[in-house]
Chains A and B, each alone.
Chain A
Amino acid sequence: MDVFLLMQLLIAAVAGALLYTLIGIAPGTDETAVLAPVTLVLVLTGLSPIIILTFFISAIVAKKLTDSIPVAVAGIPGGVMAAPMVEHALVLKKHNRADLAIRKMASGSVIGTLISVPLSLLLAQQLLPFADAVRTYANPLFFFGAIFLALMSRERIVSLLAILPLAIVIQGLRELYWSVGVVPENETVFTSFFLGITIGPVLLTLFELFNTKKRQAVPKHDAKEVKLRDQHHIKGLHPFKILSKEELTWSTLSSVFGSFLFILSPVGITILLGEVISSRVKDPIRKASLAISSMDALTNAAYISGTLIPLIALGVPLSPVAIGPGGALFNAPPVFNETYNMHHALSMSEFVVATVIGAAVAILITYFIIVKYAESICYVVFKYIPHEALLALFIGLVVLLSFMDGGLLNVFGVGLIAIVAGYFHRLGMNYGVQFMVLYAAPWLIGLF
């Protein structure tokens, strides 16, 4: 490997870690919604795949390290996956131990990363012999993936019943574009539909505000009060010393679980395992620390293995993380498609190099530097970045990519998909199921 490439990888890793440290702290940012568009854009600009993977790995490690920080200092989840931890973090906050919460969570994250990186690489290698079979049956597998994830979700019936209607909307629009002629017959609109699903829940909420009655009925709020506690006495960040033996054991175990269960929804297993582990403990502070450290370890592990295993072994995004936040690594026409994507572009050693550099840089920067200044960063983000600007930025990105995919007609087409998918999402059909449907739609509609 030459020095120039190594420099590029380091720059990509640093950029990913810094950007997603800020985004991770911004409240309410959904992992899929913030990771997918940026990755997509990087893929479309034609950057070298190994640089993009380094950026992506660094981004997820940094994002997962930091999205628990606002939970600890302000009780506001920095991301959807941090939401299950709020309850436990609030216990620590109430006992004035927010600093402890940050250290426990961050240490849990580090453990999760350290365990899942080698484990995912090993698991991926074990799965390689099955790759051809999986690829041959990829389309039905996406369909069964949708059914499987639907059955695993809380709202089974809604999720199952909504599969075909969503596929009809997606494939129906594609057929319409071909017959009207806004998209050439040999091109399939994918990217902007993907973003439409991603932004669905938010867009639906915003669209409803155009309705006079809904707008008046929406609960009104005061300015959000955020109380930050000065944490500058956090010292001595050593993940193996911060965690007690019990926490270390359970963080390790849950990371292993998380890596093996890569095919399941990370939020689901986090809630499930976190509760199972912490329910054995009575003392509130001990219980909360145990829960947040092992949950953070688990989400990290699930994220990394969910990305790496399908990417390295299969080349087909058969996990909720791969198909959601990591979607652009598998399918981003015209750069990547089902027959040529990052799986085909990189060799095993390149995967290892990108992952190790990405994870190491993110841990170094985010863990050792950012965690120390957690409350100052939170202060700046909360004080100066308006939520409106973030929402507008995402809407801007969606409009741009929709227009590039299929002109003005597609801007409204993506709006339609967003509202339909957003409504199904509200009723309980999660992203995992919806993305599986997006992939399975041509095959599924072709059955009729």
Chain B
Amino acid sequence: MTTNPSNETKKVFIEVWEDVIAIPDLVISVIITVSFTMILYALAPERPPFPLIFGLIGALFGFGLSVFLIKPKRTVTLIKSKEDK
């Protein structure tokens, strides 16, 4: 389900909000997050603030699942600093 960021010869990512994304991955995470949010919202007791809180918990679940399923499109390298002044 994830796009492999090591596939670097082909430029496939697009820039949104100062960072790069893959469209299929974005579609997947939006579907996941919106479904979780709305399903939990629908399951909540009618009395406020429960629908809101349930919806938020759903959104966070969706976020967590997306983080788990999708790889960030960044290559991060840590440079050991020399003893600069």
Contact = CB atoms under 8 A, between A and B. Distances in A.
Contacts of B70: 386, 388-389
Interface in A40-88: 41, 44-46, 76-77
Contact of B84 (A45, A96, A226): A96
B43 interface: no
Interface in B51-65: 51-53, 55-56, 58-60, 62-63
A385 B67 contact: yes
Contacts of B73: 223-224, 386-387
Given A96-B84, A386-B67, A389-B70, A396 B75 contact: no
B14 A218 contact: yes
- Chain B CB within 10 Å, residue with most, of A224, A395, A404: A224
Contact of B79 (A27, A209, A228, A386): A228
A3 interface: no
Contacts of A156: none
A392 B8 contact: no
A223 B15 CA distance: 10
A219 interface: yes
Interface in B29-68: 29-30, 32-34, 36-38, 41, 49, 51-53, 55-56, 58-60, 62-63, 66-67
A418 to B, nearest CB: 14
A381 B82 CA distance: 24
Contacts, number: 179
A230 B66 contact: no
- Chain B CB within 10 Å, residue with most, of A28, A30, A387: A387
A219 B21 CA distance: 12
B53 A45 contact: yes
B22 to A, nearest CB: 7
B29 A382 contact: no
Given A41-B52, A221-B11, A397-B59, A226 B77 contact: yes
A227 interface: yes
A162 to B, nearest CB: 22
Contacts of B37: 396-397, 399-400
A130 interface: no
B72 A384 contact: yes
A258 B21 CA distance: 36
A386 B56 contact: no
A385 B52 contact: no
Contact of A28 (B18, B33, B41, B79): B18
Interface in A90-105: 96-97, 99
A341 B52 CA distance: 20
28 contacts: A41-B56, A44-B49, A206-B16, A218-B14, A220-B11, A222-B11, A223-B8, A223-B75, A225-B74, A226-B76, A228-B76, A384-B72, A386-B70, A388-B21, A388-B70, A389-B63, A389-B66, A391-B16, A391-B30, A392-B32, A392-B34, A392-B62, A392-B63, A393-B63, A397-B56, A399-B38, A400-B59, A404-B55
Task: Across the A-B interface, give the 9 residue pairs with the lowest CB-CB distance, nearest first.
Answer: A28-B18, A389-B66, A392-B29, A220-B11, A396-B33, A392-B33, A387-B19, A400-B55, A386-B72
